[in-house]
Structure 1
Amino acid sequence: MDILLNVLADKKIHQEIIISGSKSESNRLLILQKLFPEISIDNLSDSDDSVHMQHALSTTDELVNIGHAGTAMRFLTSYFAVNEGRETVLTGSERMQNRPIEILINALKDLGSEITYEAKEGYPPIRIQGTKLTKDKVQINGNVSSQYISSLLLIASKLENGLEIELVGKITSIPYIKMTLSLLTQLGIENKFEGNIIKVYSKKEIQKQTIVVESDWSSASYFYSIVALSEIGSEIQLSAYKKESLQGDSCLAEIYQHFGVTTTFGDNFITLKKVSKTNKAILEINLKNAPDIAQTIAVTSFAEGIACNLSGLHTLKIKETDRLVALHDELSKLGATILVTDESLHLEKSSVINKNISIKTYNDHRMAMAFAPLSLKVPIRINNAEVVTKSYQKFWDDMQQIGIKIDEL
Structure 2
Amino acid sequence: MNLSLENSEKNLEANLQITGSKSESNRLLILQALYPNISISNLSNSDDSVVMKAALEKGNGLIDIHHAGTAMRFLTAYFSCKEGCEVTLTGSARMKERPIKLLVDALKSMGADISYLENEGCPPLQIKGKKLEAPSVKLAANVSSQYISALMLIGPSLPQGLEIILEGQVTSTPYILMTLEILKQAGLNGSFKNNRIYIEPKVDVENVSIPVESDWSSASYFYSICAIAESANIKLSNYKKESKQGDSCLAEIYRQFGVKTIFSENSIELIKEKGPYSRCLREDLRNSPDIAQTIAVTCLALGRECILTGLHTLKIKETDRLLALKNEMEKFGAQVKITDDSLHLLPCKSLKEGVEIETYNDHRMAMAFAPLALKTKITIKDANVVSKSYPDFWEDFKKLGFKGQ
TM-score by length of 2: 0.99
Task: Tell me if structure 1 keeps the 8 A contact 2:60–2:85.
Answer: no
Task: Tell me if structure 1 keeps the 8 A contact 2:52–2:71.
Answer: yes
Deviation at 1:61, TM superposition (A): 4.0
Q: Please show how residues 170-249 of structure 1 align to structure 2 within 5 Å.
A: 170-232=169-231, 234-249=232-247
Task: Tell me if structure 2 keeps the 8 A contact 1:259–1:278.
Answer: no
Q: 1:60 to 1:163 in 2, by over 3 A?
A: closer
Q: Which residue of 1 aligns with 2:285?
A: 287
Deviation at 1:403, TM superposition (A): 0.6
Matched, 1:27 2:35: no
Give the letter aligned to residue 275 of structure 2. Answer: K
Matched, 1:75 2:74: yes
Q: Please show how residues 140-159 of structure 1 align to structure 2 within 5 Å.
A: 140-159=139-158
Q: Which residue of 2 aligns with 1:36?
A: 35
The answer for unaligned runs of 5 or more in structure 1 is none
Q: Which residue of 2 aligns with 1:398?
A: 396
Give RMSD over aligned pairs: 0.8
Q: Which residue of 1 aligns with 2:339?
A: 341
Percent of aligned positions with the same letter in both sequences? Answer: 55
Measure, in 1, the Cα distance between the counterparts of 2:42 and 2:79.
Answer: 25
Deviation at 1:24, TM superposition (A): 0.1
Q: Please show how residues 263-342 of structure 1 align to structure 2 within 5 Å.
A: 263-277=261-275, 279-342=277-340
Deviation at 1:60, TM superposition (A): 4.1
Give the letter aligned to residue 6 of structure 1. Answer: E
- Per-residue Cα deviation, 1:174-205 (whole angstroms, up to 9, x for no partner): 00011001111112211111111000010111
Measure, in 2, the Cα distance between the counterparts of 1:278 and 1:57.
Answer: 51
Deviation at 1:151, TM superposition (A): 0.3
SS at match of 1:402: coil
Q: Please show how residues 328-407 of structure 1 align to structure 2 within 5 Å.
A: 328-407=326-405
Measure, in 2, the Cα distance between the counterparts of 1:60 and 1:30.
Answer: 13
- Per-residue Cα deviation, 1:98-148 (whole angstroms, up to 9, x for no partner): 000000000000000000000100000000010000111110000000000
The answer for unaligned runs of 5 or more in structure 2 is none
Q: Which residue of 2 aligns with 1:84?
A: 83
Task: Tell me if structure 1 keeps the 8 A contact 2:161–2:201.
Answer: yes
Q: Which residue of 2 aligns with 1:134?
A: 133
Task: Tell me if structure 1 keeps the 8 A contact 2:59–2:87.
Answer: no
SS at match of 1:13: strand
Runs of 4+ in 1 over 3 A off after TM superposition: none
Q: Please show how residues 54-133 of structure 1 align to structure 2 within 5 Å.
A: 54-133=53-132
Measure, in 2, the Cα distance between the counterparts of 1:349 and 1:223.
Answer: 21
- Per-residue Cα deviation, 1:339-375 (whole angstroms, up to 9, x for no partner): 0110000011421111110000000000000000000
How many residue pairs match? The answer is: 405
Measure, in 1, the Cα distance between the counterparts of 2:250 and 2:126.
Answer: 39
Measure, in 1, the Cα distance between the counterparts of 2:123 and 2:80.
Answer: 14
Give the letter aligned to residue 62 of structure 1. Answer: G
Deviation at 1:334, TM superposition (A): 1.0
TM-score by length of 1: 0.98
SS at match of 2:11: coil
Give the letter aligned to residue 108 of structure 2. Answer: K
SS at match of 2:4: strand
Give the letter aligned to residue 5 of structure 2. Answer: L
Measure, in 2, the Cα distance between the counterparts of 1:183 and 1:91.
Answer: 27
Measure, in 2, the Cα distance between the counterparts of 1:271 and 1:153.
Answer: 34
Measure, in 1, the Cα distance between the counterparts of 2:32 and 2:394.
Answer: 31
